[in-house]
Amino acid sequence: MKFHAEQLKILKDLILEYKKESNERFFLLILQRVDRMLVEIINKISRIYYFNDSNPQILQDMYQTAIIGLRNSIISFSPDKKESSIPIWIFLHVRNEIFKIYGVRKFNIPRYLYTHPDCIEKSNIDSGLIQEDIRKIIEDLITSKKITKEEIQLINLTCIEEKSISDILRTFGDRWGSRIRIVETIERVSRILKRKFEEKGFESD
């Protein structure tokens, strides 16, 4: 799973908060953000070392093992580590935990089922996390006065709601100025947003 720079920054902040307070709410937020990565790690390792065909029961079991590896990676995470090192750090701890429990060998599935007490079942991926990161980037741009809330509303009207400039003028009058001024504002704000998203690691089409 590829993380963009803003995701890694938020992830590191959550990890440091959890290390400081040991609050399970922070751990759950971390787990939501790396859930897909854990699933990818499990699928890859299970195919290489354990079995060829997917088995929901053993994959769920390995997911519980991965959560313990995740927690270990957080506990031993140093504040001095770079944000970019977080994914490989988590991967190494998850892999080590799986190897510790199951060894490194092909095995008979029923024999090696393992239950972790008081362990969280697989969480649902929060589809709003990327939107949350985008909102934060936009809020930072507004706070730094590079764009305004009014300009973001104009971008929402044109790009999200797909309103034409004629519709905007008809509904809002000269709120954003003339037709030419609206086009100039859209182009300027779009350039700022595109540059900021790329800087934060979002891939552009």
- Cα dihedral 46, 49, 53, 58, rounded to 10, equals -50
51: phi then psi, degrees, rounded to nearest 5: -155, 160
Helix (H, G, I), strand (E, B) or coil at 22: coil
Whole-number Å distance between alpha carbons of 118 and 177: 60
Name the pLDDT band for 126 (thresholds 50, 70, 90): very low
Q: For residues 95 and 111, which has the higher predicted lDDT (pLDDT)?
A: 95
Question: How crowded is residue 82: how many other Cβ atoms within 10 Å of its Cβ?
Answer: 9
* Tens of pLDDT, residues 48-100: 777 655 566 777 888 888 999 999 999 999 999 888 899 999 998 998 888 88
> For the chain, what is the mean pLDDT?
79
pTM of the model: 0.52
Question: Confidence class of residue 1 from pLDDT cuts 50, 70 and 90?
Answer: low
Q: Which domains does the chain have, with CATH numbers?
A: 5-112 (1.10.1740), 129-199 (no CATH)
Model confidence over 155-193: pLDDT tens digits? 888 887 888 888 889 898 889 998 888 989 998 998 898
Measured CA to CA, the distance from residue 173 to residue 170 in angstroms comes to 6
